Amino acid sequence: MTLNPHRKYRTATEMVHAGAQRSPYGEVCEAIYLTQGFTYPSAEAAERRFDGEDPGFVYSRYANPTTDMFEKRMCALEGAESARALASGMAAVSTAILCFVKAGDHFVAARSMFGSCRYIIEKVLPRYGVEVSIIDGRKIENWEKAIRPNTRGIFFETPANPTLEMVDIKAVSELAHKVGATVIVDNVFATPLYQKPLELGADVVVYSTTKHIDGHGRCLGGMILSSEEWMTENLQDFFRHTGPGMSPYVAWLMLKSLETLPLRVEEMTRSAAKLADFISGHKAVAKCIYPGRDDHPQRDIVKKQMTGGSTMIAFELKGGKKAAFSFCNHLTIPLISNNLGDTRSIMTHPATTTHQSIGPEARAELGISDGLLRFSVGLEDVDDLLEDVEQALNATL
């Protein structure tokens, strides 16, 4: 059967079924359409396809049936009208920004962000004549001061990588819309299950689907979601002619992963909450930041816009870099790596890996100390994780 398009189903149901389109063979599992393009029954049919009278597929750089199923399932999850799948999270971030800004525009971004996002905004945009302000996004006053009449775009992550700092999506969107700016939210850390930026007033949501959405550490991917109007006016032609789209094979893997996304993320969040409580109370730990705990420094914003605590924990060891390295080297279950949202628990030392290139001054500004660790909690038994973290913390004392 197919879902009734006029009815709204609950998330778990939609993640198994939404967007599925069966070929005449009636396959159970969605088909992988590994084809560069499409053929037409007649010259007249080709003409109609190209002038848009007939809405079918023409070329996989524009759209592909397998990728389309993944995009439709993501629309159901996000509550968005339109979506485009891209080759990586960074393809999504850069395309979402570059498709609409032009020389003379002003752009504002919150400074706590993924290193590659910072590169696009700080280094690439000025080369094209876009003026950029990078601010501390935690306080709404900073946004008030930074936004100008010619501000055309706004970008932020919330919770941010790796410090789990929050930005108030609703308040920033209201300010941005007074000057007609587009608000883009990188929602990777919250996942579409726990935070819905479009409902809170943002215009565009981007994901690295490499993270929780693939969730098995297999492949890279990205997604841009927005209203139909924003997509048609800003992204559609840019996307078609620059060619950053996702391969149909990867889209199929992502589609399979969406079937278990709610199960995985909810279980990982339950474990993360237990681990955060344990880590906060351990004497080797200077501080522990977890959006699901009442001692999160911006607990009021978390409560307003997130419905779950997330699968990510940040914590700082009293013994600095030496303790952080010793802790990582004593772990037997979490991998030392830099992915997140994976079924496998992953421990990252941002100062020497993901945030090494930004330099010590920028790290200090962002609160990324040498003792800070980022913990992506996986699907292992939580008691095994607790025991492993405990012995590794004890070894640093």
Query: Site residues (CB under 6 A) for ligand PLP?
Result: 88-90, 93, 114, 116-117, 157, 161, 186, 188, 208, 210-211, 220, 222
We find the least distance from the C-beta atom of residue 179 to ligand PLP, in angstroms, to be 25
Which of 323/377 has CB closer to ligand PLP? 377
Which of 19/159 has CB closer to ligand PLP? 159
Sheet with 82-86, side-by-side order of all strands? 82-86, 222-226, 204-208, 182-186, 151-157, 106-110, 131-135
Give the start-end residues of each E strand in 116-262: 131-135, 151-157, 182-186, 204-208, 222-226
Q: Are 96 and 245 in contact (CB under 8 A)?
A: no
Dist CA 378 CA 345 (whole Å): 4
We find the least distance from the C-beta atom of residue 375 to ligand PLP, in angstroms, to be 14
We find the least distance from the C-beta atom of residue 277 to ligand PLP, in angstroms, to be 24
Dist CA 346 CA 274 (whole Å): 16
Which of 62/119 has CB closer to ligand PLP? 119
Which of 86/392 has CB closer to ligand PLP? 86
Closest residue to ligand PLP, based on beta-carbon distance: 89
Q: And the tokens for 315?
A: 């914590």
Which of 14/203 has CB closer to ligand PLP? 203
Sheet with 335-336, side-by-side order of all strands? 285-289, 312-317, 372-376, 346-348, 335-336
Dist CA 159 CA 341 (whole Å): 14
We find the least distance from the C-beta atom of residue 288 to ligand PLP, in angstroms, to be 20
We find the least distance from the C-beta atom of residue 187 to ligand PLP, in angstroms, to be 8
Which of 114/239 has CB closer to ligand PLP? 114
Q: What are phi and psi of 84, to 5 degrees?
A: -130, 135
We find the least distance from the C-beta atom of residue 91 to ligand PLP, in angstroms, to be 7
We find the least distance from the C-beta atom of residue 345 to ligand PLP, in angstroms, to be 16
CB count within 10 Å of CB 140 equals 15
> What DSSP element (H or E) covers 193?
helix 191-194
Taken in order 69, 70, 75, 77, the sign of the CA dihedral is positive
Which of 69/96 has CB closer to ligand PLP? 96
